Amino acid sequence: MDLDLPSPQNIELTVYRNIATCSPSQAIYDDLVDTQKEFDILFEADALSNDIDENLPKKNRVKQYGDIENSLLCFNERYWRWGRFGDGSFGVWYSAIEEETSIQETLFHRPEIDKNDLGNAIHPIMQDRRMFKAELSSHISVDLRKVSKKYPLIIHESNYEFCQNLGKLAVDCSWISYQTPSVRNPGGTCVPVFNSAPINDRMIYDYYNHFPLDGSEPYYSMIQKK
């Protein structure tokens, strides 16, 4: 890409990132069968196709059900996803300088991601999410906020091609992060990170996303804050 971007700078940042969890536990088969015999058949079939070691005591199986303490799984090739700064060929750790920006960015996208669940739901959906606070040690970053007016596709509502090419450029040039205007929280700053090396994070609280079925706007509420 032949672009006039700001010079990369060595910076340190404090950022926030949230991920989905599987807490609280849910009865995932309660809408499929009614009798205990049918449940037993489903559980047997499930046991043949999952990675849970049923020989371990239940108290030792918790971590096998979902690594909800790890916000870095996006760098595992298995979890590479299409998004604003990624086309699925590399990992992107999406974060933000403000907690509210992190929340609003994911709150906006979940209805589209979960549209099948929302379309079939008979009750409002609550999704548990986990917030992490991270210190990004000294790393190379490019501040796209300085050129967002020159290149308005940086903050386009739905066309991500330009930003995905910027993501590829960052990976090719070994730039670690961008600082870019938030599209979903005006005035906020998003920080997509393309390498896990500078990230030192810790969970700080859980919260709920709420998705009403009456057409009203999604919202969030806190569960616990540490």
pLDDT tens digits for range 104-159: 999 887 666 666 666 777 778 788 889 999 999 999 999 999 999 999 999 999 99
Q: Is residue 79 part of a domain?
A: yes
Position 25 pLDDT exceeds 50? no
Residues 63-88: pLDDT tens digits? 444 555 689 999 999 989 999 999 99
- Give me the residue label for tokens 């986990």: 130
Q: What kind and span of H or E run contains 224? A: strand 219-225
∠ CA(96), CA(138), CA(172), 5° rounding?
80
DSSP 3: -
Q: Which residue has the tokens 């569960």?
A: 223
pLDDT at residue 26 greater than cutoff 60: no
Pairing of strands 177-181, 82-83: unpaired
Q: DSSP 3-state assignment of 107?
A: helix
Between these two residues, 199 and 110, which has the higher pLDDT value?
Answer: 199
Report CA-CA distances (Å) from 3 to 116, 175, 176, 204, 223: 39, 15, 18, 38, 44
Within 8 A by CB and 6+ apart from 18, the residues are 102, 103, 106, 129, 130, 131, 132, 207
Q: What is the number of structural domains in the chain?
A: 1
| pLDDT given at position 50 | 55
Sign of CA dihedral 113, 178, 76, 95: negative
pLDDT of residue 47: 60
What pLDDT is recorded for position 17?
97
Domain contains 142: yes
Top-confidence residue, 46 or 209: 209
- List the beta bridge partners of residue 193: 93, 177
- 42 occurs within a structural domain: yes
35 is a domain residue? yes
Cα dihedral 78, 80, 96, 67, rounded to 10, equals: -10
Name the more confident of 210 and 21.
Answer: 210
Within a domain: 34 = yes
SS3 145: helix
User: Is pTM, for the whole model, over 0.85?
Assistant: no
- In a domain, residue 91? The reply is yes
For residue 154, what are the domain limits? 10-225
**What pLDDT was estimated at residue 159?**
96
CA 17 to chain centre: 7
Helix (H, G, I), strand (E, B) or coil at 154: helix
Determine contact, residues 193/14, Cβ cutoff 8 Å: no
Q: How far is CA 41 from CA 27, 35, 46, in A?
A: 15, 10, 9
Q: Is the peptide bond before 212 cis (omega within 30 degrees of 0)?
A: no
What's the whole-number mean pLDDT along residues 5-27?
84
pLDDT in tens, 149-192: 999 999 999 999 999 999 999 999 999 999 999 999 999 999 99
Q: Is residue 56 over pLDDT 60?
A: no
The answer to the question of residue 4 being in a domain is no
For 116-142, letters b (16+ CB in 10 Å) and e give: eebeeeeeebebbbbbbbbebeebbbb
In a domain, 3, yes or no: no
